[in-house]
Chain A
Amino acid sequence: MSKYLLNKFLYTVDRDPELVERYRAEPAAMVGWWEQEMANALLNCTSGEKSTWLSFTPDERDALCGHDHVKLFELGAHPFLTLTLFIAMFERDHGPLEYQKAYARAMDHLTLPYPDIAT
């Protein structure tokens, strides 16, 4: 399980307008591409230096491919990263604050303590 890698996906996609649109339109293809090409990229290196050991678990991959923000929360992804990216993708399809409220309602069954987000 790699909360860090889930967060890295959310972080790198959220900051790139093109990746936000690709993830909205074709999540499975985009997640596959990202895991292959980006998961091991050292973000502060432009020379092609890469890590060699990062990959998603099947649960993590499924949650990302399914746009399943509740599952991402349960897996311990950072809630701020998930929320920000999902607002970017889906707020446009709803009225003011409708999406944010529905996002909360989908998690109504969750109680404290929430999953640990420490990485």
Chain B
Amino acid sequence: MATVAAVIASTHHPFYYRASTSAGADRPPFADEWVAKIEAFRQTLTRAEPDVLLMVGSDHFHQLWLDNMPQFLVGKAPFFDGNFYNEEREFGLPRLFLAGEEDLAGHILRDGLDAGFDLAFSNELRIDHSVTCPIITLRPEADLPIVPVYTNIFAPPMPRPERFVQLGRTLRRLVESWPSDKRVAIIGTGHLSLELGGPRQFGPHGPDPEFDRKAVEWIANGDIDGCLAQVTLDSLHAPGNATHGFMDFMLMMGAAGDGVKADYTDSLDLFHTMEAYFTWYPQGGSR
């Protein structure tokens, strides 16, 4: 059976690419510290020696739209193009091209359906910055096949936080039951407190530093019960109107396991958001 080589949870700040590649007067003052943190974080994936990446993210109204909106969707295709015109325009993100791991995608769909998740699927999916940002930060070579899993954290009605945790637990079990000798890293990205298009956006830090502090603690300690006791679909409006993206972190807590402390935790207080980076090694690290 396949091995879960690492479980990695991260924010996906679309400005990282531009900040890290800019020079001279265009280079923001926080870029060097940010790059140093990302390069250290990248090592946590490299050290796990993965063969395949299961990538959890959320389409930002690029390919998925309100006329036909899935709650959870698995990409099953031989290849995935990455990034859209408006992400190039706003964030300067490059186009990417990644291979898919169709056998794992098929296994997740079949056994996921049988496990009680009515997963939607796509055989032609263009992935957006929720998946490409962690490729850029964690595996810029873009040389490993992926299985993208999209969640709806964007368009109400959404599944409740408990459901995200359950899906994370299920994805972990599905990877571990995949008949393969491959090493799979499960990587998921979301947000801490975040406001987009509202009065609290683009402040000197994330809109709710207290929520961010608690969130980092929940994730780092694998404190699913503590997190679920305080986080609901309704409560997530308070820290910022885009904070439902935190549910992807909750999914990753489910994948990492109840009460399992992260082996690596880091964060960076930036304008607009707090960045946060976590890695677990279910098998104790490299092979």
Contact = CB atoms under 8 A, between A and B. Distances in A.
A11 B65 contact: yes
Contacts of B60: 80
Interface residues of B, number: 29
A110 B199 contact: yes
B124 to A, nearest CB: 12
Contact of B157 (A69, A73, A80, A118): A118
B197 A119 contact: no
A24 to B, nearest CB: 13
Interface in B71-100: 84-86, 89-90
A106 to B, nearest CB: 8
A88 B154 contact: no
B67 A43 contact: yes
A104 B196 contact: no
Contacts of A107: 198-199
A38 to B, nearest CB: 13
Interface string A80-110: 1111100110000000010011011101111
B63 to A, nearest CB: 10
Contacts of A69: 197
A116 B155 CA distance: 11
Contacts of B62: 15
Interface string B103-116: 00000000000000
Contact of B202 (A42, A84, A88, A97): A97
Contacts of A110: 198-199
A108 B237 CA distance: 17
Contacts of B202: 97, 100-101, 104
B284 interface: no
Contact of A15 (B68, B85, B271): B85
A8 B68 CA distance: 13
Interface string A1-31: 0001001100100110100000000000000
B89 A78 contact: no
Interface of B: 60-62, 65-68, 84-86, 89-90, 154-157, 196-203, 237-238, 241-242, 271
25 contacts: A7-B66, A8-B66, A15-B62, A44-B67, A73-B197, A73-B198, A79-B241, A80-B61, A80-B242, A87-B90, A88-B90, A97-B271, A100-B201, A103-B197, A103-B201, A104-B198, A104-B199, A104-B202, A104-B203, A109-B199, A110-B198, A112-B237, A114-B198, A117-B156, A119-B155
